[in-house]
Amino acid sequence: MPGEAAVEPHQLYPDDLVYEHEATEATGVPGQVIRQWARRGKIQRFQGNGQLAGQGHEYKTMYALPEIEERARTYRPMPQRAPKAA
């Protein structure tokens, strides 16, 4: 939002940086929405530490939990269209 000050990395505690799945568990906001906010520049992305997630994948992106919690307060899921009958 205009006039919103971005969180500087030095203002965060190590526990404030979380992976997408951890942010989803903490706030209830779907991971796809968190990624969309980051893509649109509404929240910041940080480089992860390469922690293994299993099945050969790594968690690569971390997000600032305080930013997500702030946006989650006003988040309302949009109802999806019902599938059309064939």
**What CATH number is given to the structural domain containing 61?**
1.10.1660
Sequence-ordered strand ranges (E) for the chain? 17-19, 45-47, 52-54, 57-58, 61-64
Residues spanned by the domain of 52: 11-72
Judge whether 5 lies within some domain: no
Question: Residue 61: beta bridge partners?
Answer: 47
Q: How many domains does the chain have?
A: 1
Is the pLDDT at 1 greater than 50, yes or no?
A: no
Judge whether 45 lies within some domain: yes
Kindly report the pTM of this predicted structure. Answer: 0.74
Task: Please give the DSSP secondary-structure letter assigned to residue 12.
Answer: S
Contact 34, 61 (CB under 8 A): no
Tell me the per-residue pLDDT of 18-35, one tens digit each, with 9 for 90 and over: 888 899 999 999 999 999
Reference 70, options 15, 7, 18, 20; nearest CA is 7
Q: How far is CA 79 from the centre of its chain?
A: 20
